[in-house]
Chains A and B, each alone.
Chain A
Amino acid sequence: MLIPHPLLGLRDAQEFTYLGDAALIGRPAPEAGEAAFCDYVFLRDNPAGIHRELWFHEQGDRSWLVVTRNTLTHEILGAELATDVARRSA
Chain B
Amino acid sequence: MTDLTPITALGGTAPRVLGAARLTLSERPELALASLALGRGAEPPAPEGLALPGPGGLSVQGALAAFWTGPDQWMVEGADLAETDFAARLQQAAPGAAVTEQTDGWACFEIAGEAAQIEALAERLVNLPRDAYAPGRASRTALHHMGVFLLRRSPDRLAVWGMRSAAGSLWHALSDTMARMEALHDS
Contacts and interface: CB of A to CB of B under 8 A. Distances in A.
State whether these chains interact.
Answer: yes
Interface of A: 7-8, 10-12, 14-15, 58-63, 81, 83
B55 A61 contact: yes
B141 A15 contact: yes
Contacts of A10: 129
A14 to B, nearest CB: 7
A60 B141 contact: yes
Interface residues of B, number: 15
Contact of B147 (A59, A81, A83): A59
A63 B70 contact: yes
A14 B127 contact: yes
Contact of A14 (B69, B71, B139, B142): B142
A63 B71 contact: yes
B147 A8 contact: no
Contact of B140 (A14, A59, A81, A83): A59
B56 interface: yes
B142 A8 contact: no
A60 B35 CA distance: 15
A12 B128 CA distance: 8
A8 B55 contact: yes
Contact of B70 (A15, A59, A62): A62
Contacts of B70: 61-63
A60 B140 contact: yes
Contact of A7 (B55, B128, B142, B147): B55
B40 to A, nearest CB: 11
Given A62-B70, A81-B71, 7 more contacts: A7-B55, A7-B71, A15-B142, A58-B147, A59-B141, A62-B69, A63-B70
